[in-house]
Structure 1
Amino acid sequence: MPLPADRSLPAHRALPLRLRRVLAHAPEATALTFEDRAFPWAYLGRAVGDLDRLLAAAGSPDAHRVGIVLRNRPGPLAALVATVATGREVVVLSPFHGDVALAQDIAALAPQIVVADAEDWARAGIADAVERIAAVAVEAGEGERPLTARPAPWPPSPRPAERGDVAVLMQTSGTTGRPKRVELTYAKLTAAFEASGTPVASDEVRLRAHPSIVWTSLVHIGGLYFVLANVAAGLRTALMERFDVQQWADLVRSTKPRRIRLAPAALRMVLQSDLPADLFDGVESVSSGTAPLPPADAERFTERFGVPVLSVYGATEFAGAIVGWDLLLHREWGKEKRGSVGRPFRGVAVRIVDPATGEPLPDNAVGILEASGAQLPGDSWVRTTDLASVDEDGFLYIHGRADDAINRGGFTIVPTVIEDALRAHPAVRDASAVGVPDKRLGEVPVAAVTMRGGELCPDAEQLRSWLAERLARYHLPTEIKVVDELPRTPSMKVSRPDVQALFAPARRTSA
């Protein structure tokens, strides 16, 4: 029986209804591929029924806070879709935490249901943590039944929890400190999908011929958002457990997507590979977000592969991107607005304010970025930690993070200035600059770099000399470390706390 159309439904019902409508449209068509297996829409649909059935059998049909250890595998993905399709709350649990940290997260967040695959259930302390909160234990898998009861010696007795409008209790990526929790409501997610052109209110379902490759971790907004958006749009998901250049290229070649998403780190890995240009035959654009993308990298990618790179800007707290380019905008303005992350999406407004007074600044002035819109938290302007400017044509430019700025004896240093200068060296592959404490100056910059290799690979002092020719003296790092790889979060952003940890306090001296 077809599901009813009702454009007046509130968001907490409209999005679940949309997902269930898509799942029921053509059950035997392929919805998901993973490695060498294909899964039909019916696989995701069965997960919806499994979740309801398991909770009823446990005597907790009204339980709604579902903690999912979100590995990029079919079972956890099915649990994610099922939770939102039934209007429940996803409590994101990271498989990248150590055993102790994951157990602590489960105990502190106290979801009423915990879903994990067999590998995570086998980890030390996880079952004990679930027993302490008396949650319903569910195992996610790739068989006929995506979700099954996990044998447990405790009688499930989930703690009561108030049912609200929260769709996902997300965690930030932790690039500037310990990850924090962010509530993404059904209203915010719906607004984010609609702003980017993904239908939620529509009762029309049309399955798309071209897939969407998802390799970003599902614990990151860039992975979770697009899995749900793909289902809402009737778009097949080609899931990867992690980014690997050759495996990714094989998937591009076999699935022939029209649009591709590559975070800056992944985009540079593709640039540094020996992949042929014809790999991108039929690809219309590459979207890049989650971290700043130097314009030179985007231009090199387009020159080599013939595909435009479209930057986007967003945040976990915003339920995804709020500013970006599309192909029409890029064709008209791309060269003239080099370095911009685009214009605000439909329903989003941005402005630049003075960091001290909060007063709006004129066109092209650099200050703190504020944004407003239905997908953002609160009902007014939301202040970010990004330094930005907006030009007279409404294009946004990001100049770094205000909270990453290094104060060296009164001189303010934006780390991207150092990073861009280091990346300009022909032997440098990537760079990260951070501030570390200094007894005399308060804070000084240091930098970690990875190299392309080769006979002309410079040492740290040669790199410092390179910078001395290009930067003001107070920008010069007091120490430069050459490392094999920069430490990164699961979403492949550089982890600034881990970069700082590379520099022992005993070596920090002002210069």
Structure 2
Amino acid sequence: MPVHACPIREGARHHPDAEALTFAGGAWTYRALDAEVSRWVAALEAHGIGAGARVATLATNHAASVFLYWALGRVGAVLAPLNARLTEAELTPMVDDLQPQLILALESLLPRLPAALPLEAFVKPAHTASETCGALEDASPRVVLFTSGTTGRPKGAVLTEGNFRASSRASAANLGAHPAPRWLGTLPLFHVGGIAMLTRTAYEGGCLVLHERFDADAANRAFDTERVSHASLVATTLERVLDARHDRPLPPSFALALIGGGPVPVPLLARARAARLHALQTYGLTEACSQVTTERPSEADGRTAGVPLPSVEVRIVGAEGLVQEPGAEGDIEVRGPTVMAGYWQRQEATRDTLRDGWLRTKDVGVLDGRGRLTVLSRRTDLIVRGGENLYPAEVEAVLLNHPAVQEAAVAGFPDERWGEVPVAFLVPRVGQERPGREALEAWCRSSLAGFKVPARFVWLDALPRNAMGKVERTVLRKQNLR
């Protein structure tokens, strides 16, 4: 099995003065980043972190997360970056499931993880550089990323060194050669897309232009003054970039942007192209290490999510388990070296999702005669709000705990800004006064991240159900909310 050296150490040997990372006014060459990572290795070793150990983090984008990621690779440990938007109640079952040997969090987020050490202060002045720099096999686990299932219970997708390297190679082959790409890092490093940019730039000898969070003005400054060549966006952030620059064309140094998180309106893509922001639609998921299909730059028309990346296979499977012909709808299944190793300590879920080498995404789509994928539904009942995935079951569970709510169902509705927002349909409990919108929002926010809070609450006399007693969300989605 192939073994791989740390790309930061390799970069320090072959192009030491090339820029590898920028963040908050700071910049690190490959030589400087290699030295900093070596100090983080020493700090990890001082805490007894070695091969197979699990380290959980809670952080918005920060240079320290980059140092930690590469340091963990050198000692053979595994990173579990937790969503910084989640509440303590949402984070606790993930930590319990993972049982990490070390937990680190930005100081501002420490109250949500009481057992965590401050990430910014993890490396002490006494920590001198460690020479440890182990090689990794393709099968070496690198990251556990928690993703909700249709029941809302989080599952940790285990992604390997081989997954990230295969994804990087396949993406580069599709996008075309680019010397030392400079990726704008606005996607969070607790999402697979963010880590994909982190790894991709290092493997290709490029630079990650890391931002703490997405800000349209800051993104435009990076395009105009920092020679950013690539970016990963969603429809809402793409539109905000164009609005902020008043459709002023991007400089020639910019090559293209990948647009994920769901379908993008064709007029928005046309507007982007007019501003020299060449945008490619893409479809991916955590379990496949980010991209599965992406438009080819020479063929992009904004009407599909493109073709499978090189080395990745996609098929459409019908209700009877038969592979569908082009033009027929069915479940999207994926096979290739980017597919995860499985779910952390969830053998049954792994067996259900990985069958005969194929990843059963539970997304619904169709392939055309040219092999291009159109995604029709992002998993059963999944709501994609501004690129963030949320499932109705999780929100419904919180609403059903309210003393005034007898029944609850949540469905996604189109939204011009966010693409889709959750709307809650509620049946009141007899004898209880119906709470207003503000009270219900406060109730939800006590247990849920802000992006999961319903945009509207609609009271009904009864929820529509089928003969099996299941809520008919298709009927709810036909409700006139005006």
- Secondary structure of the equivalent of 1:283? coil
Contact in 1 for aligned 2:56/2:79 (Cα 8 Å): yes
Partner of 1:140: 120
Q: Is 1:370 equivalent to 2:333 in the alignment?
A: yes
Among candidates 329, 335, 339, match of residue 303 of structure 2:
339
- Secondary structure of the equivalent of 2:298? helix
Contact in 1 for aligned 2:51/2:76 (Cα 8 Å): no
Partner of 2:20: 31
Partner of 2:457: 503
Contact in 2 for aligned 1:55/1:63 (Cα 8 Å): no
- Secondary structure of the equivalent of 1:197? helix
Residues 50 and 446 (structure 1 numbering): CA distance in 2 closer, same or farther, change over 3 Å? Answer: closer
- Secondary structure of the equivalent of 2:453? helix
For 2:261 and 2:321, locate their aligned partners in 1 and report how far apart those are by CA, in whole Å.
Answer: 26
Among candidates 352, 366, 370, match of residue 389 of structure 1:
366
TM (normalized to structure 1)? 0.67
Partner of 1:88: 77
Contact in 1 for aligned 2:219/2:241 (Cα 8 Å): no
Following superposition of structure 1 onto structure 2, how do residues 38-49 of structure 1 map, counting pairs within 5 Å?
38-49=27-38
- Secondary structure of the equivalent of 1:91? strand
For 1:281 and 1:173, locate their aligned partners in 2 and report how far apart those are by CA, in whole Å.
Answer: 40
Residues 508 and 222 (structure 1 numbering): CA distance in 2 closer, same or farther, change over 3 Å? Answer: farther
Among candidates 75, 87, 94, match of residue 64 of structure 2:
75
Q: Alpha-carbon deviation of 1:310?
A: 0.9
Q: Alpha-carbon deviation of 1:139?
A: 3.6
Q: Which amino acid aligns with 1:340?
A: T
- Secondary structure of the equivalent of 2:339? coil
Following superposition of structure 1 onto structure 2, how do residues 190-339 of structure 1 map, counting pairs within 5 Å?
190-197=165-172, 208=179, 210-303=181-274, 305-330=275-300, 334=301, 338-339=302-303
Residues 504 and 38 (structure 1 numbering): CA distance in 2 closer, same or farther, change over 3 Å? Answer: same
For 2:463 and 2:48, locate their aligned partners in 1 and report how far apart those are by CA, in whole Å.
Answer: 62
Contact in 2 for aligned 1:386/1:398 (Cα 8 Å): yes
For 2:43 and 2:91, locate their aligned partners in 1 and report how far apart those are by CA, in whole Å.
Answer: 24
For 2:376 and 2:167, locate their aligned partners in 1 and report how far apart those are by CA, in whole Å.
Answer: 24
Partner of 2:10: 21
Among candidates 309, 313, 323, match of residue 360 of structure 1:
323
Q: Any gaps of 5 or more consecutive residues in structure 2?
A: 128-138, 341-353, 397-407, 419-436, 438-448, 465-478
For 2:285 and 2:374, locate their aligned partners in 1 and report how far apart those are by CA, in whole Å.
Answer: 15
Q: Is 1:404 equivalent to 2:378 in the alignment?
A: no
Query: More displaced, 341-350 or 291-300?
Result: 291-300
Deviations 1:266-323 (A, max 9, x none): 01222333434233443232221132222232123223x1333211111100011021
For 2:371 and 2:241, locate their aligned partners in 1 and report how far apart those are by CA, in whole Å.
Answer: 31
Residues 280 and 507 (structure 1 numbering): CA distance in 2 closer, same or farther, change over 3 Å? Answer: farther
Among candidates 108, 111, 114, match of residue 124 of structure 1:
111
For 1:63 and 1:125, locate their aligned partners in 2 and report how far apart those are by CA, in whole Å.
Answer: 25
Deviations 1:22-48 (A, max 9, x none): 244344443211122222323432343
TM (normalized to structure 2)? 0.70
Residues 313 and 62 (structure 1 numbering): CA distance in 2 closer, same or farther, change over 3 Å? Answer: closer
Q: Any gaps of 5 or more consecutive residues in structure 1?
A: 1-8, 131-136, 152-163, 199-205, 406-414, 420-431, 453-480, 482-492
Residues 100 and 509 (structure 1 numbering): CA distance in 2 closer, same or farther, change over 3 Å? Answer: closer
Q: Alpha-carbon deviation of 1:445?
A: 5.9
Deviations 1:407-465 (A, max 9, x none): xxxxxxxx99xx9xxxxxxxxxxxx998999xxxx97967374679xxxxxxxxxxxxx
Residues 444 and 498 (structure 1 numbering): CA distance in 2 closer, same or farther, change over 3 Å? Answer: closer
Contact in 1 for aligned 2:228/2:254 (Cα 8 Å): yes
Residues 362 and 215 (structure 1 numbering): CA distance in 2 closer, same or farther, change over 3 Å? Answer: same
Deviations 1:39-69 (A, max 9, x none): 2323432343224323443455556322233
Contact in 2 for aligned 1:211/1:238 (Cα 8 Å): yes
Q: Which amino acid aligns with 1:345?
A: L
* Larger radius of gyration between Structure 1 and Structure 2: 1
- Secondary structure of the equivalent of 1:368? strand
Deviations 1:186-213 (A, max 9, x none): 2322222222238xxxxxxx99555211
For 1:77 and 1:508, locate their aligned partners in 2 and report how far apart those are by CA, in whole Å.
Answer: 50
- Secondary structure of the equivalent of 2:325? coil
Query: More displaced, 67-76 or 110-119?
Result: 110-119
For 1:125 and 1:341, locate their aligned partners in 2 and report how far apart those are by CA, in whole Å.
Answer: 37
For 1:323 and 1:216, locate their aligned partners in 2 and report how far apart those are by CA, in whole Å.
Answer: 19
Query: More displaced, 66-75 or 268-277?
Result: 268-277
